[in-house]
Structure 1
Amino acid sequence: MSELFAALLLGILEGLTEFLPISSTGHLLIAERWLGHRSDLFNIGIQAGAILAVVLIYRQRLWQLLAGFLKPDQAALPSIDGDSPRGYSLKLALAFLVTAVLGLVVKKLGFALPETVTPIAWALIIGGVWMIAAEYFAERRALTLGERARITWTVAILVGIAQVVAGVFPGTSRSAATIFMALLAGTTKRASATEFAFLIGIPTMFAASGYQLMEVVRSGQAAQEDWGLFAAAFIASAVTAFIAVKWLLGYIQSHRFTVFAVYRMLLGAALLLFLPSGA
């Protein structure tokens, strides 16, 4: 298999899985066993491509949030799920702050699971079960209390914690952890939970990528990078992520997340069955 083809496949895989609730880390770790291990800079690049796609999709919402900070007259701006742009922005900031602080604590303690197949498989299975349960309880709550779209301060804090959990447990999926934490914590509208999860993912993933990039530059790895393959994979990831996220946002308007949960459980079971040693 040519290096260019392998790089394109990894870029496409990252774009498909980064924001769908099926774990990009888990899929890439498994795919690299057949397509070859890539540099840290390459992995940072394809993740940045996926983030760029979400920035483009939410460019109007991001501008609205920025205007909410710059404009003193909040009444002139449309609300976001019943919240003012400034209030919504502050909740995003709180979720990011929780993630940053707890993430630094976890990194300082050196707590991380090995990136091997067995823990990834179990994270996929457990995450799939959790997704079905979370959506079930969210729908039950919506029937009794009414559908709730607003993001509360509690939801923001718990979403921040969920991002850290996803970072510690490979295969969990950052998008799945944040979307379904929001659903469990009281935001019963799927579209609202998903939008908040994607928006908080932008600063979180940019910050994580920037931190990793500084480490790569200091180590001198950048000088050895094949920039042609890097650019091809970056573009493939950005284009694929744009298509995948646009499709997902339309899909969840009238469908549950069940298909993703079932896929996770089947994939996890297949990994345990065919790679029982976790090698």
Structure 2
Amino acid sequence: MLGTLLEALLLGLLEGLTEFLPVSSTGHILLAGYFLGFESAGKTFEVLIQLGAILAIVTVYFSRFWQVLVTLPSSPRSRSFVLGILIAFLPAAVIGGLAHGFIKSVLFESPALICIMLILGGIVLLWVDTLSFKPRYTDAMAFPPSLAFRIGLVQCLAMVPGVSRSGSTIVGGLLMGASKPAAAEFSFFLALPTMAGAFTYDLYKNRSLLTLDDGLIIGVGFVAAFITAVIVVKGLIAFVSRHGLTPFGWWRILVGGVGLIALALVG
């Protein structure tokens, strides 16, 4: 049991460090779990510890969320922001619900696919960083509904582990005219309903599989994910603004390449 708890701690730290980076937290956790021999009932651990990252977003942006909440009845800007987030969340809610079984039973069990998607996503990030953008949207709270919906469609690509939810939404936002800080911030905001929805649906679907021991393991991963995610969220927008996406692109290629070599060696 101690060994399992230590693995849960490691995977929770990994979740918090990578959830909001464009490197695919799910891909990293699934690969690490595969090579560690970590098993969770119905692959619930990998989804449920995301609650820690959700609470990290709420903690860091609490004042912003509270302001939106209290001004919702009177502020067109607040209503527009909430509507944009809900519109962006809609594609993932529909497609994720319909494809949940396939995602968990097939895509989550394909480490070679994860490695390939990490590499391809890294190449995309390197390419995007060579482009010269003239942003038309610099305020994440003022994205028009059409832009929010298109970003939501792009987010659905991240249902394939290794693609990255934050990576797809940030890159999608950039290609559609958002500035780097605004694209990254909107990705944070969109994470809240997306990850909360995934958490709730997965918990409901797998509630009969979970035991008290599973609860303890998930709790350890949750706490580790929360602490590290708070640190990452506070620094990511400034990092992306200064350094772009290239460091993450090379990291993805490195992890995907090492993963493929390891799979070839150990099977």
Q: 1:121 to 1:254 in 2, by over 3 A?
A: same
Q: Confirm or deny: 8 A CA contact 2:22 2:164 kept in the other structure.
A: yes
Which residue of 225, 246, 253 maps to 1:265? 253
Equivalent pairs counted in the alignment come to 259
> 1:166-216, CA deviations, whole angstroms, 9 ceiling, x for partnerless residues?
11x1100111011111111111x1110011111111011101110111112
Q: 1:44 to 1:170 in 2, by over 3 A?
A: closer
| C-alpha distance in structure 2 between counterparts of 1:107 and 1:5, whole Å | 28
Q: 1:216 to 1:255 in 2, by over 3 A?
A: same
For residue 200 of structure 2, what is the amino acid of its counterpart?
Answer: G
What is residue 39 of structure 2 aligned with on the other side? 37
Q: How does 1:156-175 map to 2 (within 5 A)?
A: 156-167=148-159, 169-175=160-166
Q: 1:271 to 1:43 in 2, by over 3 A?
A: closer
Q: SS state of the match for residue 22, structure 2?
A: coil
Aligned Cα root-mean-square deviation (Å):
2.3
Which residue of 180, 187, 205 maps to 2:171? 180
Any gaps of 5 or more consecutive residues in structure 2?
Answer: none
For residue 262 of structure 1, what is the amino acid of its counterpart?
Answer: W
> How far off is 1:95 after superposition?
0.5
Q: SS state of the match for residue 49, structure 2?
A: helix
Structure with the bigger percentage of helix: 2
| C-alpha distance in structure 1 between counterparts of 2:246 and 2:5, whole Å | 35
> How far off is 1:278 after superposition?
9.1
- In the alignment, structure 1 residue 136 sits paired with structure 2 residue 139: no
TM-score normalized by the length of structure 1: 0.84
Any gaps of 5 or more consecutive residues in structure 1?
Answer: 75-83
Which residue of 231, 255, 260 maps to 2:219? 231
What is residue 6 of structure 1 aligned with on the other side? 7
Q: How does 1:11-22 map to 2 (within 5 A)?
A: 11-22=12-23
> 1:213-233, CA deviations, whole angstroms, 9 ceiling, x for partnerless residues?
11122x2x2335344333222
> 1:115-142, CA deviations, whole angstroms, 9 ceiling, x for partnerless residues?
32221111111111112223433xx231
TM-score normalized by the length of structure 2: 0.87
Q: How does 1:1-279 map to 2 (within 5 A)?
A: 2-32=3-33, 33-34=35-36, 36-39=38-41, 40-71=43-74, 73-74=75-76, 84-107=77-100, 110=102, 113=107, 115-137=109-131, 140-142=132-134, 148-150=137-139, 151-167=143-159, 169-187=160-178, 189-217=179-207, 219=208, 221-276=209-264, 279=267
> 1:15-53, CA deviations, whole angstroms, 9 ceiling, x for partnerless residues?
111111111111111111215222344334321111111
Larger Rg, first or second structure (1 or 2): 1
> How far off is 1:103 after superposition?
2.8
